[in-house]
């Protein structure tokens, strides 16, 4: 503890705290809010999913259309997340460690998918690749399908999950500064060596944090994917789209069973996110 005037315990408490009533009121409001808007829906999803027992739950997940939607969601995330990881790290590295003209413009552009409604994110691909769009007739002549097929779904997903990795890394890398990299350079390391031996280990947990958020959004995206999907059963329905279809078919148990997969994903995401946040904090404090 740094030397300072000793403050009596009572004085200190009074200086920091509101009257008891206000404090308890605020805590209660926050907790009730949390329970009402987060825990209650989560509990509802699981209770509906398991309402008719475990075997009904498992059968709902084994249904061919459901399996195909899970497969499509996994494929989409498997393509979109690595691409955005690659882009995110490159962009964050460029922005945090170097100065170049147009840097602010790049930062703004990275944020663009956050500020655009997902429906618009889907529609832009229909406008570009759709039959009435710019490249539609050419694509059709060459028998390449983009919208209403898997590539369109992946493109829309990449677009909406674009900012996650870069947005996580930029502040972290800026906070870490570039002294270590400069030291490495002075000691004779090449650019790539510096990146893999110095930069990458420092941002490890930041990357995991970004990837996990990116992945959660990639698997959970509804709006943009809905516009480009075409809703062909067993072919172009992702898990969130399939949940809506099941619900609309009065298949409530199956709908909530599939939804519970997304809820599990959210819980895992939350767990890894907390871990990563804690590690990042630790890393910064050890500096």
Partner 1 sequence: MSIRKIVTTLATVIVVLSMATAAFSADVTLLNVSYDPTRELYSDFNSDFARYWQKKTGQKVTIKQSHGGSGKQARAVIDGLEADVVTLALAYDIDAIAEKGLVKPGWQKELPHNSSPYTSTIVFLVRKGNLKKIKNWDDLVKPGVAVITPNPKTSGGARWNYLAAWAFALHQPGGNDAKAKEFVAKLFKNVPVLDSGARGSTNTFVQRGLGDVLLAWENEAFLAINELGPDKFDVVTPSESILAEPPVTVIDKVADRRGTRTVAEAYLNYLYSDEGQKIAAKHYYRPINPRITTRLAKVKLYRIDDKAFGGWQKAQKTHFADGGTFDQIYAPGK
Binding footprint of partner 1 on the chain (CB under 8 A)? 79, 83, 86-87, 90, 126, 129-133, 136, 140, 143-151, 154-155, 230-235, 245, 247-250
Quick one: which of 110, 101, 120 has its CA closest to 223?
120
Quick one: which of 176, 233, 238 has its CA closest to 204?
176
Nearer to partner 1, 94 or 266 (CB): 94
Distance between CA atoms of 195 and 199, rounded to whole angstroms? 5
Distance between CA atoms of 103 and 7, rounded to whole angstroms? 48
Instruction: Give least dist CB 131 to partner 1, A.
Output: 3
Specify whether the CB–CB gap between 23 and 17 falls below 8 A.
yes
CA 242 to chain centre: 20
Instruction: Give least dist CB 64 to partner 1, A.
Output: 12
Instruction: Give least dist CB 130 to partner 1, A.
Output: 4
Cα-based torsion angle of the residue sequence 91, 93, 99, 102 in order, rounded to the nearest 10 degrees: 0
CA 231 to chain centre: 23
Quick one: which of 132, 145, 91, 123 has its CA closest to 228?
123
Nearer to partner 1, 90 or 281 (CB): 90
Instruction: Give least dist CB 3 to partner 1, A.
Output: 52
Nearer to partner 1, 197 or 231 (CB): 231
Nearer to partner 1, 42 or 94 (CB): 94
Tokens 């609309």 found at:
248
First to last CA, the chain: 19
Instruction: Give least dist CB 237 to partner 1, A.
Output: 9
Instruction: Give least dist CB 77 to partner 1, A.
Output: 14
Nearer to partner 1, 123 or 208 (CB): 123
Nearer to partner 1, 162 or 205 (CB): 162
């Amino acid at each position: 503890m740094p030397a300072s005037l000793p403050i009596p315990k009572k004085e200190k408490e009074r200086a920091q705290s509101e009257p008891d009533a206000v404090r308890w009121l605020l805590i209660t409001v926050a907790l009730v809010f949390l329970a009402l808007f987060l825990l209650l829906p989560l509990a509802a999803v699981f209770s509906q999913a398991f309402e008719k027992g475990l075997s009904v739950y498992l059968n709902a997940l084994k249904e061919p259309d459901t399996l195909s939607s899970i497969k499509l969601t996994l494929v989409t995330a498997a393509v979109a997340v690595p691409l955005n990881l690659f882009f995110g790290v490159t962009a964050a590295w460029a922005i945090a460690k170097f100065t170049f003209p147009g840097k602010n413009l790049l930062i703004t552009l990275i944020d663009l998918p956050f500020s655009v409604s997902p429906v618009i994110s889907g529609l832009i691909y229909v406008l570009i690749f759709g039959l009435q769009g710019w490249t539609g007739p050419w694509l059709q002549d060459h028998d390449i399908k983009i919208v209403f097929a898997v590539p369109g779904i992946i493109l829309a997903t990449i677009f909406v999950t674009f900012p996650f990795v870069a947005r996580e890394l930029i502040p972290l890398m800026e906070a870490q500064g570039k002294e270590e990299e400069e030291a490495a350079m002075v000691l004779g390391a090449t650019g790539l060596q510096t990146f893999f031996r110095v930069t990458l280990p420092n941002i490890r947990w930041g990357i995991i944090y970004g990837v996990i958020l990116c992945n959660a959004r990639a698997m959970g995206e509804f709006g943009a994917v809905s516009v480009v999907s075409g809703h062909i059963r067993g072919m172009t329905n992702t898990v969130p789209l399939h949940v809506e279809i099941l619900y609309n078919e009065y298949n409530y148990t199956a709908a909530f069973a599939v939804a519970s997969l997304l809820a599990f994903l959210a819980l895992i995401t939350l767990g890894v996110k907390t871990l990563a946040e804690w590690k990042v904090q630790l890393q910064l404090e050890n500096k």
